[in-house]
């Protein structure tokens, strides 16, 4: 026992059973693995498992995105081209007219972003009485759209019953 006390701490960490390293006493239990190796193996296996899980999750998300894109394409292909388009809102009617006016005035040199920004600023500058004209146009379009949809649905029902 006395001999072991005389060995320096650096010698203890490199020599045989009962050595101390990083505050952990090493014992030779005949198993052939040290706590450092066990710790490294656990960490390595855990990292690999987590890495695989992370890769699986990324793959699943990518697959989900691809499926959504495919479903969207399929819906677009199935879309009935004879179906009446939705009516425009008062704002959209105004923007269409304003963009046409701005293009004619500017000569069509502006980008879409600039055109729509200018049209939006003009809409915000209008008073309610000036906007009323566009609200009335939108209401007319809504009524026309509702009539067209009733006729369209009647045609679908007639085709379905055949």
Share the mean pLDDT of the chain: 77
What is the SS3 assignment for 5?
helix
The span from the CA of 19 to the CA of 26, in Å, is 5
Query: pTM of the prediction?
Result: 0.50
pLDDT band at 13 (very low <50, low <70, confident <90, very high): very low
Q: Domain extents for the chain?
A: 1-31, 33-79, 90-161
The span from the CA of 143 to the CA of 114, in Å, is 32
∠ CA 3-4-9, rounded to 5°: 130
| pLDDT 10s digits, 52-110 | 777 777 788 888 888 888 787 777 667 778 888 999 999 999 999 999 988 888 777 77
Task: Say what percent of the chain tops pLDDT 90.
Answer: 31
Q: How far is CA 152 from CA 7, 81, 127, 146, in A?
A: 97, 11, 37, 10
Per DSSP, helices labelled H in 15-127 are 35-78, 90-106, 112-125
């Amino acid at each position: 026992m006395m001999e072991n006390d005389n060995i320096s701490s650096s010698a203890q960490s490199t020599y045989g059973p009962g050595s101390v390293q990083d505050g952990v006493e090493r014992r030779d239990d005949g198993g052939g693995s040290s706590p450092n190796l066990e710790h490294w193996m656990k960490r390595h296996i855990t990292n690999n498992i987590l890495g695989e899980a992370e890769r699986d999750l990324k793959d699943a998300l990518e697959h989900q995105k691809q499926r959504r894109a495919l479903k969207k394409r399929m819906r677009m292909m199935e879309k009935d081209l004879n179906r009446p388009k939705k009516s425009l809102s008062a704002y959209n009617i105004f923007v269409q007219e304003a963009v046409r006016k701005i293009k004619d005035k500017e000569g069509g040199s502006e980008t879409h972003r600039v055109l729509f920004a200018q049209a939006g600023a003009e809409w915000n500058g209008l008073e309610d009485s000036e906007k009323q004209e566009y609200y009335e146009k939108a209401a007319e379009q809504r009524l026309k759209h509702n009539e067209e949809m009733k006729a369209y649905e009647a045609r679908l029902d007639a085709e379905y019953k055949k």
